[in-house]
Structure 1
Amino acid sequence: MQQPVTAFIDYLRYEKQHSPHTLSAYQRDLARVMQQATVRDIQEWEKITEKQLKYWLGLWHEDGLSSRSLQRLISSLRRFYQYLLTRGVVSNNPAQLLRAPKTGRPLPVTLDADQVNNLLDDQYGQADGDPLKCRDLAILELFYSSGLRLAELAALNVDSFSDGFSQVRVLGKRSKERVVPVGSKARQAVQHWLTFRELFVRGESDSALFLSKQGKRISTRQIQNRIKEFAREAGMSVGVHPHMLRHSFASHLLESSGDLRSIQELLGHSDISTTQIYTHLDFQHLAAVYDKAHPRAKKKD
């Protein structure tokens, strides 16, 4: 059963150009199904039925797999079987009608504007004399200024910027390119980092914008760790991660502008329904303001 899976992953990698993260998710989901099939001595994808898949979903749910993970697994199976159908490996798609238990979508966790300012502004003095702190500050400023994904920021090159560093060209999911604005604070932080960057170049000049101490493009894991450490040193009481800064960017922009469509473009969402999660977050904020401010919002004892 492994050969069709390998061919499918290669198809997603080379023809559809999916990210390593997405490929890994598909592999985990399909490996989970193969494990169940092996236990039951099933050797071909054609032999798996819808009834069996429903039973296995129930087992995984009892074992604690979340509804969201089950939904992703079903989606992986549907697409995989559709791939097998087009190549004549199977004659039907047993995952087509599967449904996972419904689950509420959790609201993203964000920082408020004061927390962002405390995180960033207090570190500028230290960054002046510390090249790595300067690099980390530029990374944080870019996350919050332009709403970048972790992989997008890690992939930036020195020549990704244009118009005096006021715009940055980003390669998003499925190699979809977009150009987003860069705020003045982020521009200054990036330009300051570039004055130190040459200290880390090893051998041939690397095109990567952000380099590690070893002179290599900084990895996504390194970025996550450095942001966590940066926030700890800044005295933050909450754990800060790249997506929290992206969420904060979107939430604060929506709160100020109310322009959901523009935020969709800036975030690189293909479907506006993905962006609409921030309208719930914005309403939550408005409701909190209402409860505090309205004379008759709460009952008095």
Structure 2
Amino acid sequence: MGSDLIERYLEHVRVERRLAARTVELYAIHLRTLAEKAAAANLPLDQVQTAHVRRWMAQLHGAGRESRGIALVLSCWRGFYRWLGNERLVDANPVQDVHAPKADRPLPKALAVDDAVRLAEHHDADADPWTEARDHAIVELLYGCGLRVSELVGLDARASTVARGWVDLAAGEAQVLGKGGKRRSVPVGAKASEALTAWLAVREDCAALEAASLRDPASAAALFIGRNGTRFSAQAVWKALRLRSLKAGLAAPVHPHMLRHSFASHLLQSSSDLRAVQELLGHANITTTQVYTRLDFQHLAKAYDAAHPRAKVRSETRPKAKATREPK
């Protein structure tokens, strides 16, 4: 009877719900697992209870199944028993109140130090000097100051009472407006200052800037502008950075937040000053910043595995799935 119910349900999702063929295949696999576990417990599928489902989920978790995978299995089983309920074959859905274990928070993606430096030092010989100066300054400011892309595009070329943020090269700092309307000062390093100085020297050489200033003064006052003379958008920064990283020879395209993650991770590797990194990133809660300590552990573990004479034994025995996670 169990296999007949499963086949009827698969036909239902294939024909009436019109699910993709691959989805139906996955449903068949998950429901086969359900049938096997029910058979091992001498249970007809229509007599499965919530306690059984919880036990089976615990078994999947103990066998190393990831939280996301367990959630997909539960979703499939939940839909199956919902259909059985609609067909009046069960009185209640035993999966309704069962939830997958909380998934581990994924680690932010950060570049290796060598890759970050390669990107920062890249010169695009194919780009015109104006665009090259702007995009180089954008990379230096994102990586050198750990700015969010929204903070970067919110900067104006000079300080004013209406500016959301600006860079004071003489003082060597940037004033930015972060999340929640919170302002903070961020130091601007020598390389970023050099790149910004070069960009400001050519920024006015934009044919459309004067006309844009008359149409929309606030947009034209932006530190980073496009060829139309108006504020460079976050989407435009993403596109420019992606192209630049590929031209620099990096294995994967880089996005603005990856440079922010790299800034935090590399700073922690050198200083281990979590509070300072919290202030520089503008995090309201230090627990948000603590995720970078996990990246730092990865860095230390890789260095150990590469250099220590006993690392081979350790790396062979270290659980791969837990190597980047904090102990619970």
For normalisation by structure 1, the TM-score amounts to 0.64
**CA 242–180 in structure 1, closer or farther in 2 if over 3 Å, else same:** same
**Residues 10-49 of structure 1 deviation map (CA, whole Å, 9 limit, x = unaligned):** xxxxxxxxxxxxxxxxxxxxxxxxxxxxxxxxxxxxxxxx
Partner of 2:187: 181
Matched AA of 2:170 = G
* Aligned pair partner of 1:164 in 170, 174, 193: 170
Gaps (5+ residues) in structure 2?
1-70, 76-98, 159-165, 317-328
Partner of 1:293: 307
Q: How does 1:52-201 map to 2 (within 5 A)?
A: 101-123=101-123, 130-159=129-158, 160-162=166-168, 164=170, 166-200=172-206, 201=209
| Residue pair 2:156, 2:221 contacting (<8 A) in 1 also | yes
* Aligned pair partner of 1:230 in 239, 244, 248: 244
| Residue pair 2:150, 2:234 contacting (<8 A) in 1 also | yes
User: Equivalents in 2 of 1:176, 1:296: separation in Å?
Assistant: 48
Shift of 1:195: 1.3
User: Equivalents in 1 of 2:178, 2:232: separation in Å?
Assistant: 18
Matched AA of 1:243 = H
User: Equivalents in 1 of 2:110, 2:197: separation in Å?
Assistant: 27
Matched AA of 2:109 = V
Partner of 2:284: 270
**CA 207–62 in structure 1, closer or farther in 2 if over 3 Å, else same:** same
| Residue pair 1:202, 1:214 contacting (<8 A) in 2 also | no
Secondary structure at 1:170 match in 2:
strand
User: Equivalents in 2 of 1:121, 1:104: separation in Å?
Assistant: 35
Shift of 1:124: 7.0
| Residue pair 1:150, 1:220 contacting (<8 A) in 2 also | yes
Partner of 2:10: none
| Residue pair 1:157, 1:207 contacting (<8 A) in 2 also | yes
Name segments (4+ residues, structure 1) moved above 6 Å. 124-127
| Residue pair 2:225, 2:231 contacting (<8 A) in 1 also | yes
Identity of matched residues, %:
46
| Residue pair 1:161, 1:167 contacting (<8 A) in 2 also | yes
User: Equivalents in 2 of 1:196, 1:123: separation in Å?
Assistant: 16
| Residue pair 2:243, 2:253 contacting (<8 A) in 1 also | no
Secondary structure at 1:168 match in 2:
strand
**CA 165–63 in structure 1, closer or farther in 2 if over 3 Å, else same:** farther
**Residues 26-84 of structure 1 deviation map (CA, whole Å, 9 limit, x = unaligned):** xxxxxxxxxxxxxxxxxxxxxxxxxxxxxxxxxxx65999xxxxxxxxxxxxxxxxxxx
Shift of 1:292: 2.1
Matched AA of 1:202 = E
User: Which stretch shows the higher mean deviation, 155-164 or 219-228?
Assistant: 155-164
The structure with the larger Rg is: 2
Partner of 1:70: none
Partner of 1:202: 210
Secondary structure at 1:288 match in 2:
helix
Larger RCO (CA within 8 A; separation ≥ 6): 1
Secondary structure at 1:216 match in 2:
coil
Matched, 1:245 2:244: no
For normalisation by structure 2, the TM-score amounts to 0.59
Shift of 1:126: 6.5
| Residue pair 1:165, 1:187 contacting (<8 A) in 2 also | no
